[in-house]
Structure 1
Amino acid sequence: MKTIAPPVVLCVHDLACLGRAGMGAVVPVLATMGFQPVPVPTAVLSSHTGGLGEPVRMNAAGYASQALAGYKELGLEVSCVFAGYLPDDSSRAAAAQAFEQWPAALKLLDPAMADNGKLYQGMEDAVEPIRQLAARADLVLPNLTEACLLLNEPVPEGPVTPDWACALADRLRESLNTGVVVTGLPMGKNIGVCAAGRTAFLVQKPRLACSFPGTGDLFAAVLAGSLMRGNALSAAADMAAEFVWQAISHTGPAADTRLGVWYEPLLGRLAPVREG
């Protein structure tokens, strides 16, 4: 009997052991959606960096590159390379290596390097290397700050209009020559996501009073899974935005926001529908 395995997604991302961010969000989502996530840690942290103090870091230099070479030697078939937090030259080289080793795979890059108008600590020299890597991806998923950095443009201080958001996404798509989804767009009472493939389109959700770390990772994971199911970029972006909005809405008002959204009770909504 021929065995059937779920499509493999290489997750070249950080492993934050406390807090629902990085692989803590990506791996459960992709597994629930019917794929086989293969974690390739670019950094191992005691917690994410969004408000839980300075994390303890395990030196993982060189691991990702060696692991990828080992998977290639095994003949592992990879359907998607999902690259996220790449904190140093070694991890960025590993992401480029994965893109090169599996050229037919869907290549996604979440250029996790900045938010709220500022670069993350330690990412001061990351913009140009990540810009070069982004140009090799099939789809790039920056937040507003990251999109402006990739374009070398100032980050707007207030709400943006739909026309401005679509123009930004189009400029980034043309600059990188790849598909783009820009997240975290402030639009007054709404928060927006603007995607630019062949054309630009906008998804808006009501802005909620609280914010959580890891929601960008959650969005990217649902989007990746939806695309791998064969959905159009517009449908995938809408599905991902809705799931993140529902997860935030279902997180208890007394929740410690530093630990991320309580998405786990909603995972069943992402599971594939099985016939029979």
Structure 2
Amino acid sequence: MSNAPKTVLCIHDLPGFGRAGLSVVIPVLSALGMQAVALPTAVLSSHTGGLGTPAKLSNPAYGPAALEHYKRLGLRFDCIYSGYLADPGQARLVEQAIDLWPDALAVVDPVMGDHGRMYRGLAPEMVPALYTLCSRASLILPNATEASLLLGDPMPGVTGESALSLAASQARRLTRICPQVLITGVPAGRGIACVGADRSGGEETVRTPMVPKTFHGTGDIFGAVMVGRLLQGNVVQAAAQAAAVFVADCLKATPDEADERLGVWLENVLPRLMQAGS
């Protein structure tokens, strides 16, 4: 049916507790009118950011079997959206999905690190694996640390206009890997910026005021809003602006004394996505 919801294959981890991964991606996409099909890379009792060692359910055979099942069912995906991947094999799983649905928009958030270092528990082999995956994507959403890892650059240690200039240069260089790049979370004075580039030579910078809070899962929320707005027909710059504003709204709705490990209080903010409409 022509008015059927757009369908997104979401390849992320699923934490039971702590707002991150599929636990935020699915409600955000649903609020934006999308059908989210979850393909968990692992099922965790909580996310891995400071809540102790989670119980983990992981079956390497599940992902390929799920993709084959979806193919047999004749499913059509408008977008393939991947986030945190625990090992190089999971990066190859996303590539398999791209092979099976080559017409889908492929959005890759190459989750590897932040604040100048790789996340604990990720092997160095993740860098070349995600480099290869990014080369298959339509759009990649690295932060400044991940952009440096993909390019083999020294970790960024600059802020303000210098950080924006560096991100713009890195975004242009990353278009050699992927046709559309958006570097997220770039510090820009009293604000935060996303800096993008594409192979046609286009560049864009989206700035939003800085909300001085840091919570787990905001990158997943940003990416999900980006995907939903893109599928609604927005250009990258407009989708990024909408995603940045929504994340800022979630941060503002979360009390200062809230535990940052548990993520932002997005539940009461989700209706704003439906009100904004397509």
Cα distance 1:4–1:200, how it changes in 2: closer, same or farther (>3 A)? closer
1:51 matched to 2:54? The reply is no
Residue matched to 1:72: 71
What is the Cα deviation at residue 41 of structure 1?
Answer: 0.5
| Local SS of the residue matching 2:242 | helix
Give distance in 2, aligned partners of 1:128 and 1:152. 10
Of 13-22 and 262-271, deviating more is 262-271
Residue in 2 that maps onto 1:221: 224
Contact 2:139–2:178 under 8 Å retained in 1: no
Change in Cα spacing, 1:74 to 1:272, as seen in structure 2 (3 Å) is farther
Structure 1: 4+ residue segments shifted above 6 A: 272-275
Aligned residue pairs, count: 273
State how 1:60-99 maps to structure 2 within 5 Å: 60-99=59-98
Residue matched to 2:132 = 132
| TM-superposition CA deviations, 1:104-158 (whole Å, max 9, x none) | 0110001111111111123222000100000000000111100110010012223
The residue number in structure 2 matching 1:167 is 169
Aligned-residue identity in percent? 44
Whole-angstrom CA distance in 2 between matches of 1:248 and 1:274: 21
| 8 Å CA contact 1:34, 1:272 repeated in 2 | no
Residue equivalent to 2:267:
264
Contact 1:62/1:90 (8 A) holds in 2: no
- Distance in 1 (CA, whole Å) between partners of 2:36 and 2:59 is 19
Counterpart of 2:35 in structure 1 is: 36
Q: Deviations over 1:61-81 (max 9, x none)?
A: 111111011000110011110
C-alpha contact (below 8 Å) 1:8/1:37 kept by paired residues:
yes
CA RMSD of aligned residues (A): 1.7
Aligned residue in 1 for 2:253: 250
Distance apart, 1:272 and its partner CA? 6.4
CA contact (8 A) 1:107 1:139 kept: yes
Structure 1 portions without partners, runs of 5+: none
Structure 2 residue runs of 5 or longer lacking an equivalent are none
* CA displacement, residues 26-52 of structure 1 (integer Å, 9 cap, x when unaligned): 110001101100000011111111121
Cα distance in 2 for residues equivalent to 1:184 and 1:229: 23
Larger deviation, residues 210-219 vs 187-196: 187-196
Q: CA deviation at 1:20?
A: 0.8
Deviation at 1:177, TM superposition (A): 3.4
How far does residue 258 in structure 1 lie from its aligned partner after superposition? Answer: 0.8
Given the two structures, how large is their TM-score scaled by the length of structure 2?
A: 0.93
Name the residue aligned to 2:189: 188
